[in-house]
Amino acid sequence: MHALLGRITDLTERFTRLQMERIGPALARPGHIMLSAAGATGFSISDDNIVMVGPELYETVAVPYNNRLSAAFGGLAVHSCGNYERQLPALLKTEGLAYVDGAFTREGDPNPNTEFELFRDSLKGTGVVLQARMGSDWQATLKRLYHPELRLVAVVPGVGVAGQAREEVFSRALGECV
């Protein structure tokens, strides 16, 4: 298994470097589903298998290869569908972990993360950004996730207000959290 995962990691790194060369100065990182910018560092992976294995197996089988990708690209951003909260301790052992992304509503995932405070308390003060995909109950989700030491990106689709009005609604909800 480690031989196969090592090969997959090698191929991923080689392919990604070729892709990065071809994209050139237009490259925005970390990529995929994460907030990305030209000149940023890191590499984004979708690790949906995280929900299929236990924490001990994830730590011994996935984290070492994620560490290699993180070292190769200056950090790692990890997305997963499904509820992966039991994996947070193992996931946080990823060297250079910069972002985690997850769903916090059934509107975004049939099996969302439900222990909001576990995410908040595990990630606050670490510098790791939590990108939380929320739904129509985003204000309640935001209240449960918010902490001044948590780097939080709230993805709020379909709020139903546009432009400045949407920003005011979000700012008012955030103000109620603090």
Average pLDDT, the chain: 90
Helix (H, G, I), strand (E, B) or coil at 38: strand
Is the pTM higher than 0.95? The answer reads no
Q: Is the pLDDT of residue 153 over 60?
A: yes
- pLDDT over threshold 70, residue 35: yes
pLDDT score of 112 more than 70: yes
Whether residue 43 is predicted with pLDDT greater than 80 in this model: the reply is: yes
Distances (CA, A) of 103 to 53, 84, 138: 19, 10, 11
**Arithmetic mean of pLDDT, 69-89:** 96
**Between these two residues, 165 and 1, which has the higher pLDDT value?**
1
For the four alpha carbons of 135, 136, 141 and 142, in that order, the dihedral sign comes to positive
* Confidence band of 21 (pLDDT split at 50, 70, 90): very high
Alpha helices in 29-150 (DSSP H): 55-61, 63-73, 88-91, 116-123, 138-145
Tokens for 13, please give them: 């790194």
Distances (CA, A) of 47 to 40, 77, 157: 21, 10, 23
Rounded average pLDDT over 111-136: 96
Task: State both tokens at 175.
Answer: 């103000």
Domains defined along the chain, listed by start: 2-177 (3.20.20)
Rounded to an integer, what is the distance from CA 93 to the centroid of its chain?
Answer: 14
